[in-house]
Amino acid sequence: MAVAVAAPHTAAVRAARSAVAGGGNAFDAALAAAGALTVVYPHQCSVGGDLVAIVRPAGGAPRAVLSIGAAAANADIDRLRAAGGEMPFGGPDPITVPGVVAGWAAVAGFGARLPLTELLAPAIGLAEEGVPFSPGLRRAIAERADAIRADPGLSGLLLRGDDRLVQPVLAGTLAEIAADWRVFYEGDLGRRLADGLRRLGSPLVAADLAAHRAEVVAPLTRVVDGVTWHAAPPPVQGPTFLAVLGAGDLLGASRRARRTRDALLGDPRTGPVDLEELLGGDAPPASEGLLGGEVPPAKEGPRPGGDTVAVTAVDGDGNAVTLIQSLFESFGSGLLDPGTGIVLHNRGASFSLDPRHPGRIAPGSRPPHTLCPTMAVAGDTVVALGCMGGRNQPWILAQVAGAALEWDDLAGLLARPRWVFDGEDVLAEPAELHDRAGHVQVCRLRDGVLAAASDPRADGAAAVCGDASGVSGE
């Protein structure tokens, strides 16, 4: 079977090729690549992070996978509020339950052909044998050098002066997950991780890990020019992407949608979320009563050099997946658990400490999420699209989405300059491409022909693996 795949590191594409050579389809290719990325791109993703995906079985309806971890059941919210007006960006407090592993299992359930033991074998080999530090990883280390030095786990991994990134402890963790992914949440591995979290100062305990479940739901949709676009629902900012998709004034629509997202995005499990207003792309009058006045500017943390990875894959049968896994900030919380080799994310930094906000922190609540994978379906055409880019993901994707359906030169499309928000300012990308403009990955099946492209801002590649008859994009 021919499979198109795109990922932000060449080792991930090699892992995907291995899966396809072993008889795998698009789901297998994406999962093998995703596993490899948790080893070679520790500044952008980890098994200690979250996963969101849009998955389409051949001939079936797309579904959204939301494997987003929750705050600890015994989180000390009063202490957090007393310490300041915002959630801390790093350290143990913004660590939420990692969702990646359960997300892998959920994606595999849509029709992966290979067991996790085979899909994670390349990742385990990379962790055992080591890989060279990629340019993107070196940039991230330089940008977060102080945080890395402050954590024994990260400094011991990244500042040894070696030429290769070798992670034997993580290799063992991945081997345990490959044998039975449930041990991450309910077995000995989960208990060891919980002990490590406790030593790092996190309120998460083994029961919080055991309570995690990946959510599989219908995606949000919008039809534009006969093409149906699919995005993940809250607490993910999928509605923000749909609100700006196809806008004649993309910048103006993005400004409005951004204010609305900041005011209204939260977890439907723990409070009402006004989905209609989020999809409308305009700040609603109700926000004045909700927040007590004018919607404030978006909270901006340190500028990340990397926070997220997107993997896209489509095969000749029409199976398709766009998968994003993350840490949020580069190296997440800035903490690595030495007992498991896991870098821990800081997704909880997006919680609000305002008890009136839909994204308020609460026991068992999931934080507002930046991950924004999307998929387009029109007849026999399917496009899987995703990117790194934090809070800017909706407009990064909107700048390439329409053309991804039509352009023959997908690599040229991704190399075009883009713009992003920096606080209230709009930054146009200079001639020198920059990480902050996002790492877009795209795969497409159109007229029976597969194509793929990987963003030149990353360290990745795109390929059509397997039987290459009638395919393009190598």
Active site residues: 308
* Cβ partners under 8 Å of residue 396, min gap 6: 387, 389, 418, 420, 437, 438, 440
d(CA 245, CA 127): 39
Tell me the Ramachandran region of residue 345: left when phi exceeds 0, alpha when psi lies from -120 to 50, beta otherwise.
beta
Of 369, 351, 363, 347, which is closest to residue 204 (Cα–Cα)? Answer: 363
Cβ(321)–Cβ(31) below 8 Å:
no
Cβ(368)–Cβ(359) below 8 Å:
yes
Q: What are the beta bridge partners of residue 308?
A: 326
Task: Give the amino acid at 96.
Answer: T
* Other beta carbons less than 10 A from residue 167's beta carbon: 25
Determine the number of helices (DSSP H) and then strands (DSSP E) in the chain: 20, 19
Query: Interior CA angle at 73 toward 371 and 66, to 5°?
Result: 25
* Cβ partners under 8 Å of residue 170, min gap 6: 38, 39, 127, 340, 341, 342
Cβ(306)–Cβ(140) below 8 Å:
yes
Q: What are the beta bridge partners of residue 224?
A: 227
Q: Is the peptide bond before 302 cis (omega within 30 degrees of 0)?
A: no
Radius of gyration for the alpha carbons in the chain, expressed in angstroms and rounded: 20
Cβ(452)–Cβ(444) below 8 Å:
yes
d(CA 104, CA 174): 12
d(CA 243, CA 255): 11
Cβ(327)–Cβ(335) below 8 Å:
no
Of 347, 344, 365, 356, which is closest to residue 88 (Cα–Cα)? Answer: 347
Backbone angles phi, psi at 127, to 5 degrees: -70, -40
Q: Are strands 215-217 and 308-315 parallel, antiparallel or unpaired?
A: unpaired
| Residue 226, burial from CB neighbour count under 10 angstroms (0-12, 13-18, 19+) | exposed
Cβ(437)–Cβ(454) below 8 Å:
no
Q: Are strands 63-67 and 215-217 parallel, antiparallel or unpaired?
A: antiparallel
